[in-house]
Amino acid sequence: MNNLAEKKFILLNEDTIEIDLDSSSPYKLDFKSIKYKNLVVNLKKQSKISILNVVNDSNKNVTFNLEEGSSLEYNIASFEKENENSVKVNLNSNCSFIGAYADFSCGENSFNFVCNLNGRGSTASWHLATLTKNNDKKNFTISFFHHARNTYAKMENYGVCEDSSSLSFLGTSRIFNGAKESATHQVAKIMVFDKKCSAKASPTLCIDENDVQASHAAVVGQINEDHIFYLTSRGIDEKNAKKLITLGYLTPILSYFKDEETLNIIKTNIEERV
């Protein structure tokens, strides 16, 4: 896996650097090794890029511009301290984007994600798994904007909220006038463990076009009692049953991470924190 920070960037201004990518290589990007606040990454036509982004104790803005027919797999992993990052993705015609964020950081985390589906036939999916404990405070704002015809977006935000922590998912899916035959779907689920924690899942659909498909689902609640009964009826004690169910909320995110080292760190983090 190549280190993206070692590639040659163009300095756009004192805060912003830019790079063009056209290969099919997988890249790793650690925000700690980038001193500029803003990062612009351009994917050239038909390129297929995957980027593993490690974000710890960072405050960055990243913009991905995908040219026609290109695809990006963008995986974010966060384990340590507070973050305040934002990511913007601009998709041209027939581009595809898959984003996955495994967030097991501590403290405060504010994350803003915007995906503009500007080109016809572009598709995007977003998957988030996060855990808040102690006094963690995390806000995730995820938005998809469908500007072109025949575009598709799917958003899945999953969270587990414990102790006195707070967790918020704000999801917005907007289909603009003219984006006919587009589809947009959102799912937000937060499992709440403690009366002291505060959790909010708010999905918003703004639809300006008729010939479209749109759906949203939001669930905030405690572990389903029927699930606990089912597992305990097989001899699994309640504590382990809850652990299995909680892991079940968080571990599906692992399927998006291919890098063994990162995968092991995420697994260890999940095991330790749950």
Helices (H), the chain: 225-232, 238-250, 260-273
Residue 116 or 130: the one with the smaller Cβ distance to another protein is: 130
By CB under 8 A, name the one of 6, 15, 208, 237 that touches another protein: 237
Query: Interaction with another protein in 138-197: which residues (CB under 8 A)?
Result: 161, 164, 166, 188, 190, 192, 195-197
Q: How far apart are CA 155 and CA 185, in angstroms?
A: 6
Return the closest-CA partner of residue 32 out of 83, 72, 103. 83
* Contact characters 76-115, another protein, x per CB under 8 A: ----------------------------------------
Work out whether 10 is an interface residue with another protein (CB under 8 A): no
- Which pairs count as long-range contacts for 13-22, CB under 8 Å and 24+ apart, including other chains? 16/40, 18/42, 20/44, 21/47, 21/49, 22/47
Query: Shortest distance, CB of residue 25 to another protein, whole angstroms?
Result: 30
Work out whether 59 is an interface residue with another protein (CB under 8 A): no
Sign of CA dihedral 90, 10, 12, 87: positive
Give burial (CB, 10 Å; 0-12/13-18/19+) of 27: buried
Q: Which stretch binds another protein (CB under 8 A): 31-39, 40-48, 147-155, 225-233?
A: 225-233
By CB under 8 A, name the one of 200, 207, 209, 263 that touches another protein: 200
Would you tell me which residues interact with another protein (CB under 8 A)? 161, 164, 166, 188, 190, 192, 195-204, 216, 218-221, 224-227, 229-238, 240-241, 244-245, 247-252
